[in-house]
Structure 1
């Protein structure tokens, strides 16, 4: 059932509003999470590179994983926008909103995790380079949160 979204009083039931909000939240919160991950781990990575230049490239993985969060959010956001149509139902609109909110919130949390783990990994690797492979596991676990949200968001978009 299509809802008339032409009046302000119907915006709370307007599925295109909720779908658009979900798409925006996916991109916005994922970008904030990526920025936090890079901003928190970046100074420690730079410091590790000054102390031991040979470990800087290895510890740069935290920046790459943090940037992947923004890409995940962009994927869900774009797919959400492509799913919006004039005949959008309330159910599908709320599913798109849920997909965007799920992806964005998880990427925001993962960004904090990647930033903290990346910062600790860079400092530890500068002290003891042999600890790098074990320290990367915490980065991967933080990234896994966003991957779970990506899968959940895609399921919300393409099922039902």
Structure 2
């Protein structure tokens, strides 16, 4: 289906680029916060129990995975950018980027708070470790939900028609 200039304005790619940017920026903000907050907890815990530092590095690894979610969506969205694109496709790409970015930001906050308190608690009571891991998994899956929605949205971006004028 060929679309007119009304459906394919010259500024449409801007929204796609902003979706790409939102995906990587917000998810990396979340990953950075989760890494920093968990790292502070690991450092404090390492003073009391230095032998448990490597065991309790899990929250930092999980925070880093959140950044990968944003990278994947950002690369996929950037692969579909073009000079002539429909406003529909551009808004879908913006929605996909915001979906993974903001859910990654929330997941990073959750992983950071849980990781900080969890590793400090594990240093005092080692039986808390399994509970901390389970809570971290539930915090991490928030980012995964955003990734899934973003991937579904991104597949819809090509169904809006083709700009030919």
State the TM-score, normalizing by the size of structure 1.
0.90
Deviations 1:88-110 (A, max 9, x none): 21111110000000111011111
User: Pairwise mapping of residues 47-58 of structure 1 onto structure 2 (< 5 A)?
Assistant: 47-58=44-55
Residue in structure 2 matched with residue 35 of structure 1 by the alignment: 32
Cα deviations across residues 8-42 of structure 1 (Å, max 9, x unaligned)?
Answer: xxxxxx22100000100110111111111111111
CA distance in 1, matches of 2:12, 2:130: 46
Deviation of residue 4 (structure 1)?
4.1
Q: Hey, what does 2:103 align to over in structure 1? A: 106
Consecutive unaligned residues in structure 1, runs of 5 or more: 6-13
TM-score by length of 2: 0.88
SS in 1 for 2:53: helix
- Relative to its length, the structure with more helix (as a share) is 1
SS in 1 for 2:54: helix
Q: Which runs of 5+ in 2 are unaligned?
A: 160-165
Aligned to 1:9: none
- Structure 2 residue 125 is the aligned partner of structure 1 residue 128: yes
C-alpha RMSD of the superposition: 1.2
Distance (Å, rounded) in 2 between the aligned partners of 1:115 and 1:22: 25
Distance 1:4 1:45, change over 3 A: same
In the alignment of these two chains, the number of paired residues is 152
* In 2: Cα distance, 1:87 partner to 1:16 partner: 7
